[in-house]
């Protein structure tokens, strides 16, 4: 789910960042924040991979501040910063 929000180009930045912020806020109440931050899609990409690939600086900032894993590898052994 976060992959979509951080990489979808048609969504406006303000709407998306507010929506993802609300998701983070609710998940942090249940102690399940790390799960969506490290979730991998069919390519093995995390939301941070998607944000970096699409150049979404606001999403990269938000994900790194939320302690998204920086060195996770996708199926092609790439990290988000590769």
Distance CA 19, CA 22 (A): 5
Distance CA 44, CA 30 (A): 25
> How many other CB atoms are there within 10 angstroms of residue 80's CB atom?
23
| Structure confidence at residue 28 as a pLDDT band (50, 70, 90) | low
CB neighbour list of residue 73: distance below 8 Å, 6 or more residues apart: 44, 79
Q: Residue 8: its pLDDT value, please?
A: 62
Tens digit of each residue's pLDDT (9 = 90 or more) over 36-46: 888 888 999 99
Orientation angle between helical segments 47-54 and 57-65, nearest 10 degrees = 150
Tens digit of each residue's pLDDT (9 = 90 or more) over 55-75: 888 888 888 888 888 999 999
């Amino acid at each position: 789910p976060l992959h979509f929000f951080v990489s979808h180009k048609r969504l406006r930045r303000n709407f998306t960042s507010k929506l993802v912020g609300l998701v983070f806020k609710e998940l942090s109440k249940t102690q399940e924040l790390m799960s969506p931050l490290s979730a991998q899609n069919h390519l093995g990409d995390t939301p941070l991979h998607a944000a970096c690939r699409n150049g979404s600086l606001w999403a990269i900032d938000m994900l790194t501040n939320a302690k998204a894993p920086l060195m996770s590898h996708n199926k092609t052994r790439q990290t988000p910063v590769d």
